[in-house]
Amino acid sequence: MSLPAWLEPLLDASRMRAVDAWAISDLGIPSLELMERAGSGLAALAGELAPTGLIVVVVGKGNNGGDGLVAARCLRDGGREVDVLLSGDRGELGGDALANLERLPGAPPRVFDGALSADAALVVDALLGTGSSGAPRGAIAAAIEAIGASAAVVLAVDVPSGVDASTGVVAGPAVSAQATATFHAGKPGLWIEPGRGHAGAVHVVDIGIPAGAPVEPSVGLIDDQLLELLPRRGVHSTKFTSGPVLVAGGSPGLTGAPCLSALAAQRAGAGYVTVCVPASLSLVFETRLLEAMTIALPDDDGAHTTAGVPRIAEAAARGGALVLGPGLGRTPGVFEFVRETIAQVALPILLDADGLGAYAGEPSRLRERSAPIVLTPHEGELARLLGVSAAEVAAERLRLVGEAAALSGAIVVLKGDDTLVAAPDGTTAVSPGATPALATAGTGDVLSGVVGALLAGGLDPFLAACAGVRLHALAAQRAAALRGRDGMIASDVIEQLSTVRTR
């Protein structure tokens, strides 16, 4: 597989090793030279983060430690006070790391004795590199604890020690850094929770490896250039060619969710939005939605039933896309309504919220469908879909969103500040982030409407999901800047969608 141009490659440990090997063997760049470039870039960043004061470099035995030793030498050559601590015996170092230990001017390194200098302005974590996984133990774990207890600014080398660079998994004690200097390219674990929360500001340091390495990354960071691919209205466009969207949802006490999805779809470019709602609640929707059509469906005390499915299928003949799930409720009859709708409607479908409950523990049933489908769960909904705990999803977001995509055959959007978009072929896109202001009711319904509009506009489902995630994030950032992080509500995000869509 190859990533689209609008995904910035993130290299896991094995692919980064392959890039290094290619640079050394095929391009003839000495490994010591690569380490020198990495360490000098690290030293420059350390100097920016701590212009004055003591810098402590805590060194492991591998190449990560070698990078730290180069940085220590560069800093000392520049007149900085640097204390170098080894996590183990000097004899444990070998190869390029040992060569750079021997080049270190000034006071020799000390073996870490359990504490860091209280005078440190900056601590450089050069303990574990991208190849490390699992829970740190022994002297490494003790050093991580000491770094955590320090009041100094922490700069991690390539990846915070204790964070799996390939996945973001944190299996034990881990360094929490204010910044991470990573080499050649970003790593997935720096952008995916929980590792993302340990990385701080990520700085990619160029170490002189050109493009063209024979590796195929499977994970990439969403870049704003994908917004250039969004469908645009032209002089010959009509409300139907601009993308008709159906929204099926609503139940007593949950009429707001489908309204938010409908309004978001309109602001994201849909030309004709129809809300399919329980007949007993239709007046609520007709009052709230001025520019959307409504279809009143048979209901059972305000809940959707399978009797309404033929009417949705009839409306779907116009084309476009269907957003299914906002505010549906979770009764067995509603779940049957969802399954029947998915079986009978051939449009691209976005399945969200309560609608996901129809496939709890049975995501493979979605493979029976031939038309595209996008799922947009939060951690709890993905947990129910896969039959695992929410804690497991939070700990292993990359693995489990990929599992869900492979089982269901769908594009799966695992929501969060690090929203992940996984395709069945193993490709995963990572959101560069949004704002904590999105932690408010209804913002997931807004995302559903945005992606639904892009699906209706004819975009490939993976692109539609990624573009929807990015538009949603940008609109939320703008809304938070206007309303404040703690006062923003979902409708504020909708108000900003049109402004970020046309940027």
Same domain, 216 and 244: no
* Residue 488: per-residue pLDDT: 97
Same domain, 197 and 298: no
State the CATH number of the domain containing residue 205: 3.40.50.10260
Strands 349-351 and 373-375: parallel
Residue segments in the chain with a per-residue pLDDT below the cut of 70: 1, 236-240, 503
Same domain, 336 and 476: yes
Location of structure tokens 């209280």 = 118
Please report which helix (H) or strand (E) contains residue 179, including its range: strand 179-183
Q: What are phi and psi of 274, to 5 degrees?
A: -125, 130
CA 84 and chain centroid, separation: 35
Same domain, 335 and 201: no
Q: 292 in helix, strand or coil?
A: coil
State the CATH number of the domain containing residue 468: 3.40.1190.20
Contact yes or no for 347/321 (Cβ under 8 A) = yes
* Residue 239: per-residue pLDDT: 67
Q: What domain range includes position 163?
A: 7-220
Q: What is the DSSP string of 118-160?
A: TTEEEEEEES--TT--S---HHHHHHHHHHHH--SEEEEESS-
Count the Cβ atoms, other than its own, within 10 Å of residue 5.
11
Same domain, 331 and 255: yes
Cis status of the peptide bond prior to 188, with omega within 30 of 0: no
> pLDDT tens across 208-256, in order?
999 999 999 999 999 999 999 988 877 766 666 778 999 999 999 999 9
Same domain, 252 and 142: no
For the chain, what is the domain count? 2
Question: How many residues make up the chain in this entry?
Answer: 503
- Integer CA distances (angstroms), 111 to 55, 86, 101, 160, in order: 16, 5, 13, 20
Same domain, 363 and 465: yes
Same domain, 247 and 161: no
- Secondary structure (H, E, C), 412-469: EEECCCCCEEECCCCCEEECCCCCHHHCCCCHHHHHHHHHHHHHHCCCCHHHHHHHHH
